[in-house]
Amino acid sequence: MKRWIWVILLPTLALAMLLHVMIGAAGWGISVLGEQAAMIIYELRLPRMLLALLNGIALGLAGAVLQIVFRNPLAEPGITGVASGSALAVVVVLYSGLALPTLWALPAIGMLGGLLSLIALWLIAGGNTTGFRLILAGVAVASLAGALVALVLNLAPNPFAYLEWSLWLLGSVANRGWEQVYLMLPSLFIAAALFAWQRSFINAHIFDAATLATLGFRQRASMWWLLLGVTLLISASVVTAGVIGFIGLLAPHAVRLLGEQRPLPLVVMSGLCGGLLVVLIDALVKVIPTTVELQLGVVAAFLGAPWLIYLLAKQRLQ
Amino acid sequence: MSLVSQQLSYGTRLKNVSFTVPEGQLVGIIGANGAGKTTLLHTLTGQLAPSAGSVHFAGVDISQLEPLQRRQLFGFLPQNPSAHAEVSVAHFLQSGLVNLPLKVSASEELARVVKLLQLENYLARPFTQLSGGEQRRVQLARALLGDQPWLVCDEPTASLDLHYQLHVMQLLKSLAAQGKTITVALHDLSLAARFCDQLVLLRHGALLAADQPAAVLTDANLAQAFGIKARWLCTEQGVALLPSLLDDQD
When pLDDT is cut at 50, 70 and 90, the band that residue A101 belongs to is: low
CB B172 within 8 A of CB B151: yes
Distance from CA of A252 to the nearest CA of B (A): 13
Is B112 at the interface with chain A, CB within 8 A?
no
Angstrom distance (rounded) from CA A247 to CA A299 = 11
Is A263 at the interface with chain B, CB within 8 A?
yes
Contacts of B72 in chain A (CB under 8 A): 216
Contacts of B41 in chain A (CB under 8 A): none
Q: Nearest by CB to B99, which of A207, A215, A219?
A: A215
Mean pLDDT of the region A130-149: 83
Distance from CA of A194 to the nearest CA of B (A): 18
Residue B131 lies in a domain: no
Do the chains contact at B95 and A207, CB–CB below 8 Å? Answer: yes
Q: How many domains does chain B have?
A: 1
Strand ranges inside B36-149, DSSP E: 52-57, 60-61, 74-77
Is B167 at the interface with chain A, CB within 8 A?
no
Inter-CA distances, B73 with A38, A50, A214, B59, Å: 64, 49, 10, 12
Q: What is the pLDDT of residues A165-197, one digit of tens each?
A: 888 888 888 888 898 899 899 999 999 999 999
- HSE value, Cβ hemisphere, 13 Å, CA-based, for B211: 8
Distance from CA of A314 to the nearest CA of B (A): 17
Mean pLDDT of the region A228-233: 91
Find the domain containing B230 and state its range. Answer: 3-83+147-245
DSSP A94-127: HHHTPPPSSTTHHHHHHHHHHHHHHHHHHHHTTT
Contacts of B79 in chain A (CB under 8 A): 210
- For β-strands B14-21 and B3-10, DSSP reports them as antiparallel
pLDDT value of residue B107: 95
3-state secondary structure of A66: helix
Find the domain containing A90 and state its range. Answer: 3-317
Distance from CA of B99 to the nearest CA of A (A): 6
Residue B114 lies in a domain: no
Is A200 at the interface with chain B, CB within 8 A?
yes
Q: Is the pLDDT higher at A309 or at B5?
A: B5
- For β-strands B26-31 and B198-203, DSSP reports them as parallel
Q: Is the pLDDT higher at A94 or at B78?
A: B78
When pLDDT is cut at 50, 70 and 90, the band that residue A202 belongs to is: very high
* Nearest residue in chain B measured CA to CA from A203: B95
Q: What is the pLDDT of residues A23-32, one digit of tens each?
A: 877 677 777 7
Q: How many domains does chain A have?
A: 1
Do the chains contact at A211 and B68, CB–CB below 8 Å? Answer: no
Angstrom distance (rounded) from CA A213 to CA A201 = 11
pLDDT value of residue B250: 59
Do the chains contact at B71 and A216, CB–CB below 8 Å? Answer: yes
* Burial class of residue B246, CB neighbours in 10 A (0-12, 13-18, 19+): exposed
- HSE value, Cβ hemisphere, 13 Å, CA-based, for B90: 9
- Cα B234 to chain centroid distance, Å, stands at 25
CB A107 within 8 A of CB A240: yes
Give the domain CATH number at B47.
Answer: 3.40.50.300
Residue B21 lies in a domain: yes
Candidates A200, A224, A197; CA nearest to A212 is: A200
- Least trusted range by pLDDT, from A76-90, A92-106, A145-159, A191-205: A92-106
Number of inter-chain CB pairs under 8 A, A vs B? 68
Contacts of A263 in chain B (CB under 8 A): 85
Angstrom distance (rounded) from CA B247 to CA B250 = 9
Do the chains contact at A217 and B67, CB–CB below 8 Å? Answer: yes
Angstrom distance (rounded) from CA A216 to CA A62 = 25
Do the chains contact at A204 and B83, CB–CB below 8 Å? Answer: no
Give the domain CATH number at A85.
Answer: 1.10.3470.10
pLDDT value of residue B133: 93
* Burial class of residue A163, CB neighbours in 10 A (0-12, 13-18, 19+): exposed
* Burial class of residue A139, CB neighbours in 10 A (0-12, 13-18, 19+): middle
Inter-CA distances, B14 with B63, B137, B203, Å: 17, 29, 9
Q: Nearest by CB to A208, which of B71, B81, B99?
A: B81
**How far from each other are the two terminal CA atoms of chain B, in whole angstroms?**
46
Is A166 at the interface with chain B, CB within 8 A?
no
Mean pLDDT of the region A247-252: 92
When pLDDT is cut at 50, 70 and 90, the band that residue A99 belongs to is: low
Q: Nearest by CB to B78, which of A204, A206, A211?
A: A211
pLDDT value of residue A127: 65
pLDDT value of residue A92: 87
Is A261 at the interface with chain B, CB within 8 A?
yes
What's the ipTM? 0.90
When pLDDT is cut at 50, 70 and 90, the band that residue A42 belongs to is: confident
CB A218 within 8 A of CB A84: no
Angstrom distance (rounded) from CA A101 to CA B98 = 47
Query: If contacts are CB pairs under 8 Å, which of residues 49-68 in chain B contact chain A?
Result: 66-68
pLDDT per residue, tens digit, chain B (250 aa), is 788 898 899 988 999 999 999 888 999 999 999 999 999 999 999 999 999 999 999 999 999 999 999 999 999 999 987 766 789 999 999 999 999 988 899 999 999 999 999 999 999 999 989 999 999 999 999 999 999 999 999 999 998 999 999 999 999 999 999 999 999 999 999 999 999 999 999 999 999 999 999 999 999 999 999 999 888 888 888 888 888 898 876 5
Residue A98 has pLDDT above 90, yes or no: no
Residue B44 lies in a domain: yes
pLDDT value of residue A245: 86
Contacts of B94 in chain A (CB under 8 A): none
Do the chains contact at B99 and A262, CB–CB below 8 Å? Answer: no
When pLDDT is cut at 50, 70 and 90, the band that residue A160 belongs to is: confident
Cβ count near A309 (within 10 Å)? 10
pLDDT value of residue B177: 94
Residue to substitute from A67, A215, A222, A253, interface B, most B β-carbons within 10 A: A215
DSSP code at position A294: P
Candidates B129, B128, B84; CA nearest to A266 is: B84
Q: Nearest by CB to B85, which of A210, A217, A263?
A: A263
Residue B136 lies in a domain: no
